[in-house]
Every structure is written in C-alpha cells, then in structure tokens.
C-alpha cells in the first residue's frame, strides 16, 4: 500500500457541454437527416454519451454538392488573405473552447484528460494557426509560381486523435482553397461536430466544411463519390489499400496515412533515463493507439537487462483509470472491437513463446481496459513483432550492431516512424539516413508539430501532413493532369 495516495482529481464532466444528440453538418447547418441514428459510447464505462445521425448516400450527395458549390462560387475565388482570416478565427476559437473540447474528447475516445488537454487540443489549434498563415503565401512554398487548389476533398479520419486528425485534414485543405467533406470515425464523432459548430461561429461560408458521421459505409460512399476530387484517408493499411484499388484509373488524387510497427532503437551509450521515458511515451502514450507508436523496442543486447529493469520500474508509476482524472496516465481502449484485437494478438504472443509481463494494475469493472504489457524474448518472426496491435503492448527484441538494428528496423512492410537513442551525433545521423521511415525521432519520441511534415514510407502510406510539404497533397498538379 502506498504511503501517499493521490486523491481523485476529476475534471468536471459538465465542461464538455455534452448534448443528448448531435446533428450532422451539411452546407452550414446542423441537420438530422432521415436515415438511421447511432449511439456513441464512453469506452471508460460503456455508457451512452449521445446520439448522432448516420449519413446515408443521399446525405453524402448533398454534402458533396454543397462543397462543390461552395468551392466554385465562394472559396476558391476568395483571396488567400481572406481564407487565412477564417482559419485564424477557427484556431483562436479552438484555444478559447479548449477545455470543453478536451473533456469531450476524453469522454468520447477514452484517452486521459491530461493528453487531450495538453496534446490533442493545443496541436489542433496550432495546425489551424500554422496553415492559416500559408493561405496567402502559396507562391512562396516552393510548389510552383501559382499553386491552385484541387476542388472538393473527401476526408476520412480515425478514432485515435479525433479532433487532431480533423485539424490535420481540414487546415491544409482549406488553406490551399479546397472545400471539405469530413467523415469522423464511427466511435468518435463528437469533437468533429463541435469543430463544425466552431466553423459556424467563425462564419465560415456554408458548404466549405461538411461533417458526416457514420461508419464504414459512409466512408466508402464518400471516397467513391464521383464529385470528390481528392481523397485523404488515415486509418488501417487494409482499408487504405482498398481505397487505393478503388480509385485506380479515376484520376482522383489520393493521400494515405496508414499503420506502422515502429522500431524504437536504444544503443548502449544512450541517455538511459530519457531513453526509458522515450520507450514509455512511444508505446503507452494514448494507450498505444498511435500509428507511429514505438511498438518494437530494439535494444542493444549489451544493455538490454539494464534497460528492462529501468523500464519495469518506471511502468510501476503508470496510473490506469478514469480518463477524466487528471492523474491518469493510461485511459480506456476505444472500443470492444479494438480490445478484442489486442487480446487476440497478445494471446498469440504468448502462444508463440514470448514472455509477457505487466505491472500490477487494477482494471475497472466496466469499460474497455488493457494493462500496459511488455513482451520480451520476441523475434522478428513473431506475430507481435510484425502486426500492428494498436494497443499498450511493447515487443522487445535485441540487436548487436548498428547495421543489425537498421536491418531489423527496416524489415517490415511498414515505414512510418522510428526512434534512435544514442549520445553519438554521427550515429544518429547515420541511422537516420538508413532508416526507411517517414519520421525519425532521435533522442525523443512522439513529437508532433504543424511545421514538421509527418507521413510514411511503404505500406504506411504516402503524402505528408504538416509543414510546407503538407500543402502539396491539396494543390493541383497541372503537369500531372496534362500528362507531362
């Protein structure tokens, strides 16, 4: 029994201004539609939070038509400096309503309030702020003398960072002059709908942003819609490939941000305490529901035991529980389906002979929970070393030399991110040069910034979000269109 218990420190649930039901956002208005409705649930206790409409094919038609009209008549003709000011308004409003959004996000997603408050919401505001500034500077972006938008963007986002993913999609698309139809994830529609309300308050012209809640069918209808000129998808590799197949031959633009199985590589000369923080951050931040999670620990064999001792010790201070408690480090798993998948893969890990360990952890009775878990004795051939678990499960492998580390790190169809921990600068750069990953974090992990391009190699997707490079997926490529 600890001497000093931290008392519960709950964030006030009322701050979220949760409503019983929300509408979908089409052409500047919230509408119920006449299709079915679905409930969204708090994964921490399985209680229903609210009801939202499921957008059907006719809703998708209307939204795309509204986006098209807004694009042609209002948004594309608007000078960049005016578009910018709308986006600045949205950024500031997100900051103003930050607490409300953070609590709502934790309720709908299950992530700790500490993370939604300190990471998700501030970054979402920052993305809008950053891209607002590009709207009237496109000719200075190194992407041609007169960059033009593409048209209507159909954007499908996942449940792991609902508000932030909405910001990553909307901000660059709008800044470059496109209009958007956004489909938030089935289990996490709420903050996207509040963002739509913010757009309304900012007096964004109707049709520029449309938000359609729904499940797989809604998303499929949206990305297949002939009125959509550009598709942006973040989600599983499996679905991403499906979309890429379906768009083949249509000439429609596509960007994909898919899964990962990142290697977090620790050398024997690493700053050990900070490296351990990097491991913990890498796989337990957001319950491991992160495409770029450091889910494979590649530790140099000579210090493996030392690192694992420090790691196990550190995991003992992680607090799992109520996402609204400000002291919670590990929140709920987003859904029953995701929990089932995590359980299946960890069972496979044990069956294949890896050794499983978790710190002592009290799991609440209701809700979807999984304790932070470390598998040692993992090899490249194990399922838990190859497949994306998308949960708080770390697979530990060892290596002897930098070349071996690179080889193992790259030995995967994925290529989203990697971590390198060493105090030797030349080795950091040598590794960074050789790692086949879109983001290399050296002596840090899970750092995001609107000015820093993010995206994958290989089956982790293509296209970048963030930075100057994040403009390119939303700009027309006249040369490509002309077949040059």
- Which residues in this chain contact another protein in the complex, by CB under 8 A? 2-9, 81, 84-85, 88, 114, 118, 126, 129-130, 132-137, 140-142, 269-274, 277-278, 317, 326-327, 401-403, 423, 425-427, 429-430, 433, 443-444, 449-451, 467-468
CA distance 288 to 373: 11
Cβ atoms of 57 and 221 closer than 8 Å: yes
Q: Which is nearer to another protein, 19 or 447 (CB)?
A: 447
Q: Which is nearer to another protein, 185 or 471 (CB)?
A: 471
Q: Which is nearer to another protein, 67 or 270 (CB)?
A: 270
Choice among 186, 257, 388, 465 that is catalytic: 257
Choice among 180, 199, 291, 292 that is catalytic: 291
The nearest distance, CB 426 to another protein, in angstroms, is 4
The nearest distance, CB 156 to another protein, in angstroms, is 28
The nearest distance, CB 90 to another protein, in angstroms, is 13
Based on the residue annotation, tell me whether 257 is a catalytic residue of this protein: yes
Locate all alpha helices (DSSP H) within 352-401, ordered by sequence: 383-386
Provide the token pair at 267.
């050398």
Q: Which is nearer to another protein, 362 or 426 (CB)?
A: 426
- Of 64, 43, 42, the C-alpha closest to 55 is 64
What is the helix, strand, coil percentage profile of the chain, to 5? 45, 15, 40
The nearest distance, CB 468 to another protein, in angstroms, is 4
The nearest distance, CB 87 to another protein, in angstroms, is 9
Cβ atoms of 92 and 57 closer than 8 Å: no
The nearest distance, CB 180 to another protein, in angstroms, is 20
Based on the residue annotation, tell me whether 292 is a catalytic residue of this protein: no
Question: Going by DSSP bridges, is the β-strand pair 296-300/439-442 parallel, antiparallel, or unpaired?
Answer: unpaired
Q: Which is nearer to another protein, 271 or 363 (CB)?
A: 271
Provide the token pair at 415.
């290529």
Q: Is 6 exposed, middle or buried (0-12, 13-18, 19+ CB in 10 A)?
A: exposed
Provide the token pair at 325.
């408690």
CA distance 73 to 152: 13
- Of 212, 191, 198, 215, the C-alpha closest to 18 is 191
CA distance 267 to 269: 5
Q: Which is nearer to another protein, 77 or 142 (CB)?
A: 142
- Give how far the C-alpha of residue 238 lies from the chain's centroid of Cα atoms, to the nearest Å: 16
CA distance 368 to 370: 7
| Cross-strand bridge partners of residue 462 | 256
Query: Helices 98-109 & 121-134, crossing angle to 10 degrees?
Result: 120
Q: Which residues are catalytic?
A: 257, 291
């Amino acid at each position: 029994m600890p001497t000093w218990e931290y008392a519960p420190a709950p964030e006030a649930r009322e701050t979220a201004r949760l409503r019983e039901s929300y509408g979908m956002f089409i052409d500047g208005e919230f509408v119920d539609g006449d299709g079915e409705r679905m409930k969204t649930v708090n994964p921490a206790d399985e209680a229903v939070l609210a009801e939202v409409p499921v957008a059907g094919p006719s809703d998708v038609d209307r939204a795309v038509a509204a986006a098209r009209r807004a694009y042609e008549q209002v948004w594309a003709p608007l000078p960049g400096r005016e578009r910018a000011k709308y986006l600045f308004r949205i950024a500031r409003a997100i900051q103003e309503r930050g607490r409300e959004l953070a609590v709502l996000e934790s309720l709908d997603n299950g992530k700790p309030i500490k993370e939604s408050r300190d990471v998700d919401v501030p970054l979402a505001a920052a993305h809008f702020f950053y891209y607002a500034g590009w709207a009237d500077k496109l000719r200075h972006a190194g992407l041609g003398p007169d960059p033009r938008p593409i048209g209507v963007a159909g954007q499908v986002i996942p449940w792991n960072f609902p508000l932030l993913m909405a910001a990553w999609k909307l901000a660059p698309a709008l800044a470059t002059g496109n209009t958007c139809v956004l489909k938030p994830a089935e289990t996490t529609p709420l903050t996207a709908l509040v963002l739509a309300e913010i757009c309304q308050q900012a007096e964004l012209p109707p049709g520029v942003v449309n938000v359609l809640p729904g499940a797989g069918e809604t998303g499929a209808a949206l990305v297949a819609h002939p009125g959509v000129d550009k598709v942006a998808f973040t989600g599983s590799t499996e679905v991403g490939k499906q979309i890429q197949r379906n768009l083949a031959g249509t000439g429609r633009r596509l960007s994909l941000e898919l899964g990962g199985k990142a290697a977090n590589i620790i050398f024997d000369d690493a700053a050990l305490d900070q490296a351990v923080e990097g491991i913990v951050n890498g796989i337990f931040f957001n319950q491991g529901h992160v495409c770029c999670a450091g889910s494979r620990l590649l530790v140099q064999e000579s210090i493996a035991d030392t690192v694992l001792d420090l790691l196990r010790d550190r995991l003992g201070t992680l607090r799992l529980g109520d996402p609204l408690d400000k002291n919670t480090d590990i929140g709920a798993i987003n859904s029953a389906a995701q929990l089932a998948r995590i359980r299946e893969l960890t069972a496979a890990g044990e069956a294949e002979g890896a050794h499983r360990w978790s710190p002592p952890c009290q799991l609440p009775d209701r809700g979807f929970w999984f304790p932070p878990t470390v598998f040692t004795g993992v090899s490249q051939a194990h399922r838990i070393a190859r497949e994306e678990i998308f949960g708080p499960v770390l697979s530990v492998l060892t290596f002897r030399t930098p070349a071996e580390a690179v080889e193992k790190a790259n030995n995967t169809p994925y290529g989203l991110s990697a971590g390198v921990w060493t105090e030797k600068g030349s080795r950091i750069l040598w590794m960074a040069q050789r790692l086949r990953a879109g983001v290399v974090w050296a002596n840090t992990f899970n750092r995001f910034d609107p000015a820093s391009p993010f995206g994958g190699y290989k089956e982790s997707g293509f296209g970048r979000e963030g930075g100057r490079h994040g403009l390119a997926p939303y700009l027309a490529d006249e040369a490509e269109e002309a077949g040059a």
